[in-house]
Amino acid sequence: MPLKEAFELAKKGHSYAKRTKYKEALAYYNKALSVDPNYAECLFLRATAYIETGKHKEALADCDRAIALNQNYSDAWSKKSLALYYLERIEEALAASTRAAALNANDVTAWYIKGVCLDELGRSDEAQEAYGRSLELEIILDMHADAKRIRQQR
């Protein structure tokens, strides 16, 4: 459990991130982590903001710290695969996305990045399999979102 103060600061940061105000979001995440340096979820949130602002090395470092705190943190593995992909470390990105998909079989991004990496490495058949899984999940999520939107309209 994170310290209450750190939790509130991270929450504020996240509300900025949702509005794509990453500079403000990062400031709050930094404050939260100075209060509680072992707050894994906040490290993940900061990694996400770093990715959005093109700071991929920083994102990777935060993901690694979050994973060190919780080896089964699937979202952190997934974000790590994205950071590694951007850093063009394809083999490592593949390993991270595979781990993320194993921990959370419903992670669309992890399956998609796995497909992209396999494609890059010339493993086309395996890539199609990963893309297929990613597409299935994405369609299911899209159908749910549509159904929700229709319910709200009514």
**Closer to another protein by Cβ: residue 68 or 141:** 141
**Closer to another protein by Cβ: residue 1 or 20:** 20
The maximal CA–CA distance of the chain, rounded, in angstroms, is 49
The footprint of another protein (CB under 8 A) covers 54, 82, 85-86, 108-109, 111-113, 115-116, 119-120, 128, 131-132, 134-136, 138-143, 145-146
**Closer to another protein by Cβ: residue 5 or 91:** 91
Least distance (Å) from another protein to the CB of residue 38? 29
Q: How far is CA 122 from the centre of its chain?
A: 25
Structure token pair of residue 25: 């979001």
